């Protein structure tokens, strides 16, 4: 009891620092009481299975919090020693809090009661009414109904410079480049040509692509709802909440009309994850048309994941490795599913694109984090050897580097390299790797500050950008125009209102934060590993997990919501961590939680 009271006090101090609350706030007494209760509960459940999983997870949450808040803490104090002391309190207190919370939550969510709460009566097939019999169709139509006004208001869609550049490629005005995936550019070009045949107008033609993108996202939401209903027999109430998430929350309809690779990529990643749900649940023993239909869906969606973004290829590779391990007892069938996708992706991304003279992304595109870290050292006027300065000056002009450097936004530095001598960087990449390591060992504080600023939006919930407020069509020379089909001051104000509410409504507003979905993903994985059963459920999360990890090593911008959109669209599938394969409930409920056998 005494230890719980002490832990609660340290955790309280850390939470006050994290929230920027005054130590004199009257709310601190209520918060302290709640923390005391939490740590007392932790003591009751301290004999959890696999405690190392919870310790590692708490340490990761703590590292993310420290990275994200290091600038905020250090800026609040003049004394570096005092700031270091506050950071230490933040780290220790937050770790204690995170670990206690994980112990209590994993204990509560590992019981059979949660499984029974989420699932409807096994005797109910969910088809007792018209909505239940046609759940997918109704879900799809409801999503379309909510997306349509945003499409009409934004007609022909929201076009930033990226899709404009893609349009210039399929119009023959710019050379083909895989900087924006060629597969997506070809898809846009296909709808452009179809639209030109029907209307002869470029604006209407590209609006046809936007309509396709909108319908694809609506299809994705409906398929997720159907998967939760048909595969896991979730209660109707849960399915309705998931449908509301896809149809009503403004970031969904807005992203449905922001033209680019991110929305279709997020959709195919989520659809691919749904296919993995069905494969994990039913295994590879299906027979007949259903077996080959699932295989075809796996091939088609897997290849789309590989081709619609470069990090999608890595996501599929990691998923394929785990897939083969999970279904190693049916190795031939497992290899038959993953190897054709990998082979097709390698051939298309290699020989086919080379033969078609498609330019690949330049090297600096994947070096955003190291670039920002080295730049932080230069901006802080750290001491460098003459050889190191000469090596850096061989690539970029450092005259205006302080004016151009923006923490968390690497595009300025990338363009500075491209305007300099990027070829020298490519030819001497090992020397620059050595430079990066040397400076990191000498100035670790600068590297941590730069890294925290660069990835903050992807690792911390209380941080969001303004990407969803963009609208209209970027100025261009291809004749594409912004032609809203509905408008008026009332609609403008309504749009502003629903977006602003994403920053002011408690609890609900966290859904607008990229970091929230990363924390939810990490908690879901923690829950699965700590339970020690049905670890095959990790297969469902591997695509989005890998995509998120790629942003931690190569993200160019720290607050681009569209980058994290795969985590958003796949978020409801994390509910699968709370359930197990249907048919196991009665069998498992009679066994102690620590003795449940792994099904994989």
pLDDT tens, residue by residue, 414-447: 989 988 888 999 898 899 999 999 999 999 999 9
Which class for 217: exposed (0-12), middle (13-18), buried (19 or more C-beta within 10 A)? buried
Predicted confidence (pLDDT) per residue in 472-513, tens digit: 899 999 999 999 998 877 877 887 787 777 777 888 888 888
Q: Is 481 helix (H, G, I), strand (E, B) or coil?
A: coil
Summary mean pLDDT of the chain:
87
pLDDT of the residue at 465: 61
Most confident of 32-41, 206-215, 572-581, 588-597: 206-215
Task: Give the three-class secondary structure for 258.
Answer: strand
**pLDDT tens, position by position, 407-416:** 989 989 998 9
pLDDT of residue 255: 93
Q: Taking Cα atoms as reference points, which of 449, 393, 450, 446 lies closest to residue 417?
A: 393
Predicted local distance difference test score (pLDDT) of residue 353: 93
- Say what the pLDDT of residue 60 is: 96
Q: What's the pLDDT score for residue 140?
A: 97
Give the model's pLDDT for residue 289. Answer: 57
pLDDT exceeds 70 at position 537: yes
pLDDT digits (tens, 9 = 90+) for 113-142: 777 788 877 667 667 677 778 899 999 999
- Long-range interactions of 493-498: CB distance < 8 A, separation 24+: 495/153, 498/250
Cα 301 to Cα 594: distance, rounded to the nearest angstrom: 37
Amino acid 577: pLDDT? 75
What mean pLDDT is predicted for residues 544-549? 95
Q: What is the pLDDT of residue 599?
A: 34
Q: Is 374 helix (H, G, I), strand (E, B) or coil?
A: helix
| CA dist., res. 202 & res. 195, Å (int) | 8
Q: What is the pLDDT of residue 76?
A: 67
Domain range annotation of the chain: 2-109, 130-360+469-580, 363-459
More confident residue, 343 or 234: 343
Q: Is the pLDDT of residue 58 over 80?
A: yes
Q: Give 594's pLDDT tier (boundaries 50, 70, 90).
A: very low
The mean per-residue pLDDT over the stretch 230-258 comes to 91
pLDDT of residue 34: 93
Token digits for 111? 């019981």
Q: Considering the chain, what percentage of its residues have pLDDT values greater than 70? A: 93
Is the predicted pLDDT of residue 332 greater than 60, yes or no? yes
In this prediction, residues 441-463 reach a mean pLDDT of 90
What is residue 592's predicted lDDT score, i.e. its pLDDT?
Answer: 38
Q: Which percentage of the chain shows pLDDT scores above 90?
A: 56
pLDDT at 596: 30
Range of lowest pLDDT (14-28, 103-117, 154-168): 103-117
Separation of alpha carbons 347 and 303, rounded Å: 11
- Mean pLDDT, rounded, for 344-362: 91
Contact 252, 515 (CB under 8 A): no
Mean pLDDT of 348-366: 89
Confidence band, pLDDT 50/70/90 cuts, at residue 587: very low
């Amino acid at each position: 009891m005494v230890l719980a009271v002490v832990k609660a006090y340290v955790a309280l101090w850390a939470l006050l620092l994290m929230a920027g609350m005054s130590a004199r706030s009257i709310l601190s007494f209520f918060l302290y009481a709640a923390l005391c209760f939490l740590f007392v509960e932790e003591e009751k459940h301290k004999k959890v299975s696999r405690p190392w999983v919870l310790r590692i997870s708490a340490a990761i949450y703590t590292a993310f919090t420290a990275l994200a808040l290091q600038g905020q803490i250090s800026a609040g104090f003049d004394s570096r020693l005092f700031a270091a002391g506050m950071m230490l309190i933040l780290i220790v207190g937050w770790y204690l809090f995170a670990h206690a919370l994980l112990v209590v939550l994993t204990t509560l969510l590992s019981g059979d009661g949660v499984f029974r709460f989420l699932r409807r009566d096994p005797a109910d097939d969910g088809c007792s009414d018209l909505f239940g019999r046609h759940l997918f169709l109704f879900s799809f139509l409801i999503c379309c109904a909510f997306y349509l006004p945003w499409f009409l208001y934004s007609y022909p869609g929201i076009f930033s410079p990226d899709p404009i550049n893609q349009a210039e490629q399929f119009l023959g005005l710019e050379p083909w480049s895989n900087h924006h995936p060629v597969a997506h550019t070809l898809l846009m070009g296909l709808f452009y040509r179809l639209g030109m045949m029907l209307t002869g107008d470029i604006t209407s033609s590209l609006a046809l692509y936007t309509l396709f993108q909108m319908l694809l996202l609506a299809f994705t939401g409906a398929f997720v709802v159907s998967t939760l209903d048909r595969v896991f027999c979730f209660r109707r109430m849960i399915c309705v909440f998931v449908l509301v998430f896809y149809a009503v929350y403004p970031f969904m309809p807005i992203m449905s009309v922001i033209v680019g690779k991110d929305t279709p990529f997020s959709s195919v990643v989520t659809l691919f994850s749904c296919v993995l749900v069905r494969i994990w649940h039913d295994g590879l023993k299906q027979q007949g048309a259903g077996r080959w239909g699932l295989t075809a869906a796996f091939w088609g969606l897997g290849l789309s994941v590989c081709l619609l973004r470069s990090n999608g290829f890595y996501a599929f590779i990691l998923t394929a490795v785990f897939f083969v391990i999970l279904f190693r007892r049916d190795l031939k069938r497992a290899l038959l599913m993953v190897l054709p996708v990998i082979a097709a992706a390698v051939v298309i991304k290699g020989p086919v694109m080379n033969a078609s003279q498609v330019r690949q992304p330049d090297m600096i595109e994947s070096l955003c984090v190291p670039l920002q870290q080295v730049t932080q050292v230069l901006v802080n006027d750290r001491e460098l050897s003459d050889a190191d300065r000469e090596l850096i000056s061989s690539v970029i002009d450092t005259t205006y580097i302080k004016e151009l450097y923006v923490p968390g936004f690497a595009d300025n530095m990338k363009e500075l390299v491209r305007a300099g001598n990027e070829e020298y960087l490519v030819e001497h990449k090992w020397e620059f790797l050595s430079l990066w390591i040397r400076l990191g060992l000498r100035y670790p504080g600068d590297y941590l500050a730069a890294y925290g600023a660069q990835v903050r939006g992807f690792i911390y919930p209380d941080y969001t950008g303004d990407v969803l407020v963009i609208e209209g069509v970027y100025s261009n020379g291809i004749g594409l125009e912004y032609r809203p089909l509905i408008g008026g001051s009332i609609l403008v104000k309504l749009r502003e209102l629903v977006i602003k509410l994403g920053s002011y409504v408690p609890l609900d507003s966290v859904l607008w934060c990229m970091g929230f979905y990363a924390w939810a993903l990490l908690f879901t994985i923690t829950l699965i590993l700590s339970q020690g059963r049905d670890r095959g459920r990790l297969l469902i999360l591997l695509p989005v997990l890998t995509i998120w990890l790629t942003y931690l090593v190569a993200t160019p911008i720290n607050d681009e919501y569209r980058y994290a959109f795969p985590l958003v669209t796949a978020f409801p599938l994390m509910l699968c961590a709370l359930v197990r394969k249907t048919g196991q409930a009665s069998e498992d409920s009679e066994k102690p939680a620590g003795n449940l056998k792994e099904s994989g």
